[in-house]
A and B are shown apart, each in its own frame.
Chain A
């Protein structure tokens, strides 16, 4: 195995990680500020991808498609928050899980109703296609490189927003003591809607970015949702920093595990059995990682006192 392959796989892991971060950031913010478990977050990812595919088909512009995905997912988030989620803040987690699971079904069947059961076409623009030569002779997909850069830029933007802006202070205060910031005169219900819309927009944005290299179809959000939950459990629920570290950890573990485990088993098994055992084990690897982290840090790597 060459170093080039290893570096390329590390980049792939990083790209997977920042994509997971876009999902996990919204999830962890919503849980941190509102104490809400939102299973429908994967549906917002799907809405972003479908909105992007629809806008791209109508206008032919990828940039407009990305903007469309942000707007559509944010609007869907606001509508859902105002009609359904708002009634759930005071309920226990079981009610929230039940209601947001119902939302998944409604969104999935609704999308199937509007767009049909067959996958839609969404492709990256020509100016992002193809590969670039990185130092050391590594040929890497330009689009994936762009996703990494966009993801890191979004992460930077989020950190800045939370650390430096008024809304960030309110979010941090909300995480610490929800009732007190209401008593101090902050419009708490507007803050909640805003945070929910922000999380939704990030998820929709991730859906559109990934939809261009994967398939845009009903149910595309749920596998990502599960991974996003793994990320926030590893990183510590409510922590943006935890979401970033957790996402990159999960991305690298998954990608490198898929490469290295079959080779490791190949050292003392025949090739076909090693492939089979290695691939089975590598698909469990992130859950083993999660269990390992929880064993030593029960509230996650950067978890506070939740």
Chain B
């Protein structure tokens, strides 16, 4: 795997002499095999697209596959820190893996830039000056979904999410902004593929709407089974359940569903237009929000590299905090706990020709921060 990653890096014209003094070495640990591979591949491809476009000789990326297993992620992080001597770690998709890796890595003086996972402990009490989240705090998109569900007039929601840190953050986030009451709250197994039991509970409840957070293949299974169940309550969810990578597999069952996202392919800023076109040209598919997060992470990193030397940690950290790069989300800035303060949009699943995709239909939360920033003492 390591060999493969190195060949990949070399083929993209990135391999630089290991002993180079000012260069930055990035260790990317992400999920490239197994059920959640689509997410990791999107983050990697988005990240590497930005790296390739920049064409820098002072940036080296080592990519490894964590197979969505916390123990493997920890081993990889140890190896990258101790034998690869990386300066910056990034790439982790899943919050349970992030919780296993990030605190140890930042304690050893490495920077960690999260392109996806944003578990609540790392935004609040467990925040760290070397930890930056470029995507969102886990609760954010769900908070917007809760707010949207209230605005849309839903009074009684049935909510479900997988039983792992991000799942708990999801339901907490939804409840924080949802004004109605809950008809039911269910945690499912992470990686569960059959939702007949949960759908039967939805049918038996007196809910008027359903909110679910089921990323990757879990969401595909749920939506197909839900569409076939005869339950026709409106569905609201975060973008993860309706992202570009899974919509084709869900098909028409997802049409019209509202979901919340900090990014969408139809955002009109120039950086995003170029990103969507370049990503399609490079990989032959539409980018997902995971790809946009990977792309932003790489550009943030390179903006800091332009401003400071990574060995001068204080200067490099200040350069990261400044976030002087053209985000595909438009304006981008960090809050005091190094998590984004950003606008979250409401999107609708539509069909463009043969392709299912999303379009923005409104704004969920404007310049939204997270609920944990106050607990963070850096």
Question: Is residue A214 within 8 Å, beta carbon to beta carbon, of the partner chain?
Answer: yes
Given contacts A118-B38, A213-B224, A279-B187, contact A1 B194 (CB under 8 A): no
Task: Note all chain A residues with C-beta closer than 8 A to B250.
Answer: 121
A109 — nearest CB in chain B belongs to which residue? Answer: B33
A141/B188 contact (C-beta < 8 A), A123-B224, A215-B221 known: no
Among B170-194, those with CB < 8 Å from A are: 185-189, 191, 193-194
B230 pairs with A279, CB closer than 8 A = no
Q: Known interface pairs A108-B33, A271-B185, A275-B187. Does A117 touch B41 (Cβ–Cβ under 8 Å)?
A: yes
Segment at the B interface, from A93-101, A216-224, A241-249: A216-224
Q: Per-position contact with A for B187-231: 1 when CB-CB < 8 Å, else 0?
A: 111010110111011011000000000000110110011001110
Partner of B228 from the list A124, A223, A272 (CB cut-off 8 Å) is A124
Q: Which residue of A lies closest to B220 (CB)?
A: A215
Inter-chain contacts of A220 with B (CB < 8 A)? 35, 193, 217
Q: Confirm or deny: A61 has a beta carbon within 8 angstroms of a beta carbon on chain B.
A: no
Query: Could you tell me the distance in whole angstroms from the C-beta of B187 to the nearest C-beta in chain A?
Result: 4
Q: Give B242 Cβ to nearest chain A Cβ, in Å.
A: 13
B197–A9 touching, CB < 8 Å: yes
Give the total number of A-B pairs whose CB atoms are below 8 A apart.
Answer: 132
The 8 Å CB contact of A1, one of B32, B204, B217, B218, is: B204
The answer on a CB contact under 8 Å between B34 and A218 is yes
Evaluate contact between A141 and B228: CB separation under 8 angstroms.
yes
**B229 and A214 form a contact (CB under 8 A):** no
A67 at interface (Cβ–Cβ under 8 A)? no
Partner of B35, one of A8, A144, A217: A217
User: Does any Cβ of A come within 8 Å of B163's Cβ?
Assistant: yes
Select the stretch in A73-81, A172-180, A254-262 that faces chain B: A254-262
Closest to B193 in A: A214
Contacts of A217 in B (CB 8 A): 35, 38, 217, 220, 249
Closest chain-B Cβ to A39's Cβ sits at a distance in Å of 15
A219: B residues at CB distance < 8 A = 33-35, 37
A218 to B34, CA, bound (A): 6
- A189 contacts chain B at the CB level, 8 A cutoff: no
Q: Indicate if the CB atoms of A223 and B191 lie closer than 8 Å.
A: yes
A1 to B191, CA, bound (A): 27
Taken together as a complex, chains A and B put the C-alpha atoms of A220 and B221 apart, in Å, by 11
Hey, which chain B residues are within 8 Å of A120, CB to CB?
Answer: 249
CB within 8 Å of B: which A64-123 residues: 108-109, 112, 117-121, 123
- Asked whether A187 is an interface residue with its Cβ less than 8 Å from the other chain, the reply is no
B245 within 8 A of A: yes
| Count class of interface residues, chain B | 35 or more
A216 contacts B37, C-beta separation under 8 Å: no
Tell me if A305 counts as interface (CB < 8 A to partner B): no
Distance between Cα atoms of A280 and B144 in the complex (Å)? 28
Q: How far is the CA of A139 from the CA of B34 in the complex (A)?
A: 35
Contact of A215 among B188, B189, B201, B217 (CB under 8 A): B217
Q: How far is the CA of A16 from the CA of B192 in the complex (A)?
A: 12
Which residues B244-281 have CB closer than 8 A to chain A?
Answer: 245-246, 248-251
Q: Please, which residue of chain A has its CB at the minimum distance from the CB of B217?
A: A215
Is A129 within 8 A of B228, CB to CB? yes
Q: How far is the CB of A130 from chain B (nearest CB, A)?
A: 7
Known interface pairs A213-B225, A275-B187, A279-B189. Does A255 touch B196 (Cβ–Cβ under 8 Å)? yes
A272 touching B194 by the CB < 8 A rule?
no
Complex Cα gap A108–B37 (Å): 12
A62 contacts the other chain (Cβ, under 8 Å)? Answer: no
Take A2-B204, A121-B251, A220-B217 as given contacts and tell me if A215 and B228 are in contact as well, using a CB distance cutoff of 8 Å.
Answer: no
Which of chain B's residues have a CB closer than 8 A to the CB of A28? none
Alpha-carbon gap, A130 to B187, bound state (A)? 26
> Which residues in B have their C-beta under 8 angstroms from that of A118?
38, 245-246, 248-249, 285
Complex partner residue of A5 from B37, B188, B200, B225, CB under 8 angstroms: B200
Q: How far is the CA of A255 from the CA of B188 in the complex (A)?
A: 11
Task: Give B246 Cβ to nearest chain A Cβ, in Å.
Answer: 6
Partner of B196, one of A15, A272, A283: A15
Most buried by B among A112, A139, A213: A213
The answer to whether B33 and A121 touch across the interface, beta carbons within 8 angstroms, is no
- Please state if B193 and A5 are interface contacts (CB–CB under 8 Å): no
**Shortest Cβ distance from B283 into chain A, in angstroms?**
11
Cα distance A275–B187 in the bound complex, in angstroms: 7
- 1/0 contact string of A186-226 vs chain B (CB within 8 Å): 00000000000000000000000010111111111011000
Interface centre among B186, B187, B218, B229 (most CB of A within 10 A): B187
Report chain A residues within 8 Å CB of B193: 210, 214-215, 220, 223
* Interface residue? A276 (CB, 8 A): yes
Shortest CB-to-CB span from A203 to chain B, Å, is 16
Using Cβ atoms and an 8 Å threshold, which residues of chain B touch A222? 34
Assess A216 versus B197: contact at CB under 8 Å? Given A279-B186, A279-B187, A283-B189.
Answer: no
Report how far A239 CA is from B116 CA in the complex, Å.
47
Closest B residue by C-beta to A258: B197
A143 within 8 A of B: yes
Complex contacts, B285 vs chain A, CB 8 Å: 118
Complexed CA–CA distance, A120 and B37 (Å): 13
Minimum CB distance partner of B227 in chain A: A129
Q: For window 328-358 of chain B, which residues contact chain A by CB distance below 8 Å?
A: none
Interface contact B230-A130, CB-CB below 8 Å? yes
A12 touches B196 (CB 8 A): yes
28 CB contacts below 8 A, A to B, read A1-B204, A4-B204, A5-B200, A8-B203, A8-B204, A9-B200, A12-B194, A16-B196, A118-B38, A118-B246, A119-B245, A120-B249, A121-B251, A123-B224, A124-B228, A130-B228, A130-B230, A141-B225, A210-B193, A214-B224, A217-B38, A220-B193, A255-B196, A258-B188, A258-B198, A259-B201, A279-B189, A283-B189
Q: A139-B230, A259-B200 are in contact. List 6 more A-B contacts (CB 8 A).
A: A9-B197, A12-B194, A121-B251, A139-B203, A213-B221, A279-B188
